[in-house]
């Protein structure tokens, strides 16, 4: 993917605040400390497009990032941060559910579920994955922080993630690192398959 430009376009909470351009969307879901913002920055080769919060659980809204003025990468609120109140967790859950329900038919092409490759998926990760499948959404698993383990540990960790999430055989788990860009080309290849972009924009 040739990234010509990328910009933060809209921050939203309610459907009437979502973009009305008609562009396709790829959303990112994951725990509050899994590195969603860093991954988005790496994917578009920008250091600070998506703000990397020093406090996990800080993202309380949905952020839409326009890429090549053709599609959006969508950063959903993180989940699973223990110090957040039950009321706030319920609010975030409602924000995510409303987004998925309202965009799945016409705009949302894929949801990327981010997990930490060093650990087995948490109960929250399992719940989110089952939730996404219940919505009938195409899902890609990115196992982040692959630079924190040895190369020999990657495949066993991927197999564990597949087992815990009970993935189907054709569902992919891509090891990823924002430090050495491991998995970058694989992720964009998956995005290209679902995005309605022109041939020129698909060139590496």
Domain at 172, CATH number = 3.40.50.300
pLDDT tens track for 60-92? 789 999 999 999 999 998 887 655 566 666 676
**Angle made by CA atoms 19, 32, 25, in degrees to the nearest 5:** 25
Domain-embedded: residue 109:
yes
The pLDDT value recorded for residue 151 is 96
* Number of compact structural domains in the chain: 1
Domain-embedded: residue 166:
yes
Domain-embedded: residue 61:
yes
Overall pTM surpassing 0.85 (yes/no): yes
The pLDDT value recorded for residue 90 is 67
Residues with pLDDT less than 70, the chain: 52-59, 81-90, 92, 196-204
The pLDDT value recorded for residue 47 is 85
Interstrand relation of 62-67 and 6-12 (parallel, antiparallel or unpaired):
antiparallel
**Angle made by CA atoms 3, 111, 89, in degrees to the nearest 5:** 120
Domain-embedded: residue 1:
no
Q: Provide the 10 A C-beta neighbour count for residue 137.
A: 17
* Sign of the CA dihedral running 53, 10, 94, 167: negative
38 lies in which domain range?
A: 6-202
List C-alpha distances in Å: 94 to 3, 99, 168, 178.
32, 8, 27, 29
The pLDDT value recorded for residue 196 is 60
Domain-embedded: residue 128:
yes
């Amino acid at each position: 993917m040739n990234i010509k430009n990328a910009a933060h376009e809209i921050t939203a909470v309610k459907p009437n605040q979502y973009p009305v351009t008609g562009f396709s969307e790829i959303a990112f879901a994951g725990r509050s400390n899994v590195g969603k913002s860093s991954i988005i920055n790496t994917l578009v080769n920008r250091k600070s497009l998506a703000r990397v919060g020093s406090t996990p659980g800080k993202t309380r809204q949905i952020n839409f990032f326009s890429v090549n003025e053709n599609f959006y990468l969508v950063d959903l609120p993180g989940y699973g941060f223990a110090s957040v109140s039950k009321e706030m967790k319920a609010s975030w859950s409602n924000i995510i559910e409303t987004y998925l329900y309202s965009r799945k038919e016409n705009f949302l092409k894929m949801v990327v579920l981010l997990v930490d490759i060093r650990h087995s998926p948490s109960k929250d990760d399992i719940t989110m994955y089952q939730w996404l499948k219940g919505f009938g959404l195409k899902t890609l698993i990115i196992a982040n922080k692959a630079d924190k383990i040895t190369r020999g540990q990657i495949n066993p960790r991927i197999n564990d993630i597949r087992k815990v999430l009970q993935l189907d055989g054709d569902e992919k788990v891509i090891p990823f690192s924002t430090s050495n860009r491991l998995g970058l080309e694989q992720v964009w290849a998956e995005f290209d398959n679902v995005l309605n972009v022109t041939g020129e924009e698909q060139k590496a």
